[in-house]
Amino acid sequence: MDAAASTWGRRGLATFYGLLAAFLYVPIVVLMIFSFNDSVLVAFPLSGFTTRWYRQLLENEQLLTALRSSFVIAAVSSVLAVVLGVLASYAVVRRRFVAKGAVTALLLSPLVLPYLVFGITLLILFRAVDSFLIPRVGIYFGLGTHAIVIGHAVVSLPYTILTVVPRLERLSTDVEEAARDLGASPRSSFRRVTLPLLAPAVLSAYLIAFTLSFDEYAIASFIAGDVTTYPLYLYGQVRIRIGLPQMIAISVIVLVLSLLVVVLVEVYRRRAERRLDVGLPSG
């Protein structure tokens, strides 16, 4: 007997899922429709089919540059967030130390700070650093890509920790101990045993951080300096009506691409974890 649900229960839940999924996709479908609509106005009635928005955005230098900037920023800040996150997760899960509650709270605290406020204070911080450095050493920190990378690495950190910790908890320490018993140094046992076991979770954490950074607007709007990120460009274009259809088209492309990536990664992750976990003591 299926402990989870009766036949009617199964059907009811499946219907519920179907309705909810439909609800979630209605705006997506609407966006897709309008990405082919032959009019600048995003409103009914429809004006005919066209692919010109897709063609136009391929020639849109500003948009392509913005996408590139966002990609770089997301890639780099996510690496930072994941590295710091893995270190922190390891400490939280495998170590005992004083004031663990307080440290955990600190590590998760970026979740609670409004991005708007965070962006402003980072701006002030960087300018203060500059006004200190410039007269003394002649160099400056400035705003731009590196500033946004720092900001995003801060706000992504809790998410990476929240992704890696559960996986780390499920991993028993027995395997690492076994490796060490067999003579591996702690460093190499971490590298050759723990890290590969963690790899799928690390990859997920990276993706989450990447997605967050790629779509992040508030913080970037303050510390971007001369750089335009994709969300900044998007928000700007949405406000002048002429730019809107192109933005819809690019977001459809981004959606399809990220869907592909996420599907592939998740498939890999689940297969990898299942393979890696086979033969491990349960616990």
Segment 7-26, which members bind other proteins (CB under 8 A)? 9-10, 13-14, 16-17, 20-21, 23-26
CB nearer other proteins, residue 51 or residue 262 = 262
- CA distances from residue 94 to 128, 140, 165, 189, 204 in whole angstroms, order as listed: 38, 40, 10, 15, 21
Q: Is 47 in the site for other proteins (CB under 8 A)?
A: no
Site string for other proteins, 111-150 (x = CB under 8 A): xxxx-xxx-xxxxxx-xx-xx-----------x------x
Of 58, 134, 195, 238, the one binding other proteins by CB under 8 A = 238
- Of 47-55, 70-78, 191-199, 219-227, which segment contacts other proteins by CB under 8 A? 219-227
Q: What are phi and psi of 49, to 5 degrees?
A: -90, 140
3 state DSSP class of 49 = strand
58 binds other proteins (CB under 8 A): no
Nearest to 216 by CA among 65, 72, 74: 74
* Interacting span for other proteins (CB under 8 A) from 70-78, 194-202, 247-255, 272-280: 247-255
Q: Which residue has the tokens 């890999």?
A: 268
Among 56, 110, 133, 140, binds other proteins (CB under 8 A): 110
Task: Report if residue 243 touches other proteins, rule: CB under 8 A.
Answer: yes
Q: Does residue 77 touch other proteins according to CB under 8 A?
A: no
For other proteins, the closer CB: 58 or 128: 128
3-state secondary structure of 116: helix
Under the binding rule (CB under 8 A), the answer on residue 211 touching other proteins is yes
As a whole number of angstroms, the distance between CA 131 and CA 137 comes to: 10
Binders of other proteins in range 170-209 (CB under 8 A): 173, 177, 180, 186-187
Candidates 3-11, 49-57, 69-77, 193-201 — which segment interacts with other proteins by CB under 8 A?
A: 3-11
Which residues contact residue 129 at a Cβ distance below 8 angstroms, ignoring those fewer than 6 apart?
A: 141
Amino acid at 157: L
β partners of residue 37: 49
Comparing CB distances to other proteins, the nearer of 52 and 270 is 270
Scanning 48-56, 108-116, 195-203, 272-280 for contacts with other proteins by CB under 8 A, the matching segment is 108-116
- 107 makes contact with other proteins (CB under 8 A): yes
Say what angle helices 100-108 and 61-94 make with each other, to 10 degrees. 170
Shortest CB 215 distance to other proteins, Å: 6
Inter-residue contact 203 to 67 (CB < 8 Å): no
61-94 and 145-170 helices cross at what angle (nearest 10)? 40
List the alpha helices (DSSP H) in the chain: 7-35, 52-59, 61-94, 100-108, 115-137, 145-170, 174-181, 186-189, 195-214, 218-223, 230-239, 244-277
Binding flag, residue 254, other proteins (CB under 8 A): yes
Contact range with other proteins by CB under 8 A, out of 51-59, 169-177, 195-203, 272-280: 169-177
